[in-house]
Amino acid sequence: MATMSLHRKESGVISGLLISVIGLSVLVLGLGSFAIWAFVSYNEAKGNVDDKIAIAVAQAKEDQGNIDEEKYAEREKTPTKTFKAPDDYCGLTFQYPKTWSEYWSERITNGGDFKAFLNPGYVPPVSDSQQFALRVTIEQRDYDSVTNQYNNLVQSGKLTQSTGASNGQDYMRLTGDFSSDIRGDAVIYRCRDKTITVRTDAVGTFKSDFDTLVATIKFNA
């Protein structure tokens, strides 16, 4: 009887110990699994954060590079060059960026209209549909005749009409769609028996340059 009781006690102790060992093993495995999960999650999260930081840094560098490039491009435009039309054509003058090139489509000898084209870098072949940073036209027509040709475009809403002045010279300003190819901004001046039109063909691109240039326009009225 005593021996049987002892065996039962030993069996109970072993069973309890076994349960404890099994429980401890499960706990260790659980903690190990949690540690592995936590480590993997941490690495994934850290990777995502590192990726986001890398993307943000790259974007910041790109943005700064674009800002620096724009500032450099603006600095390169100065000091400006002086445009001067023939004296017989009102002696028109204005300042324009030195990074622009200038082309006169024809040399005036026996009257006719004066035309000049300006563009950054080089001046492309001249055509009505080609966009230029600036077109200069001095016509042998009176002011009303020139401005009246835009009436239909103004009435249809394709062009917006306003008035202004630069250096004491009044002008009519037209902004909008001059054609299907040209969305521009123009100022038109009266000069005795002639009419001066200065226009940019891409107002979205050259508006700042155009406004600065217009402020320097002078001519012999």
Domain regions of the chain by residue span: 1-76, 81-214
Global pTM value: 0.67
Q: Which amino acid is at 66?
A: N
The tens place of each residue's pLDDT in the chain, 221 residues long, gives: 555 554 555 555 556 666 666 666 666 676 767 777 777 777 777 667 777 777 766 676 666 665 555 555 556 666 899 999 999 899 999 999 999 999 998 666 667 899 999 999 999 999 989 999 999 999 999 999 999 999 999 999 999 999 999 999 999 999 999 999 999 999 999 999 999 999 999 999 999 999 999 999 999 98
Minimal CA–CA distance to 102: which of 111, 91, 115, 86? 115
Q: How many CB atoms lie within 10 A of CB 57?
A: 10
CATH fit for domain 81-214, picks 1.10.10, 3.30.70, 3.30.1490, 3.40.1000:
3.40.1000
Structure tokens at 32: 């190990």
pLDDT computed for residue 112 by the predictor:
83
Task: Output the 3-class SS for the chain.
Answer: CHHHHHHHHHHHHHHHHHHHHHHHHHHHHHHHHHHHHHHHHHHHHHHHHHHHHHHHHHHHHHHHHHHHHHHHHHHHCCCCEEEECCHHHCCCEEEECCCEEEEECCCCCCCCCEEEEEEECCCCCCCCCCCCCEEEEEECCCHHHHHHCCHHHHHCCCEEEEEEEECCEEEEEEEEECCCCCEEEEEEEEECCEEEEEEECEHHHHHHHHHHHHCCCECCC
pLDDT computed for residue 73 by the predictor:
53
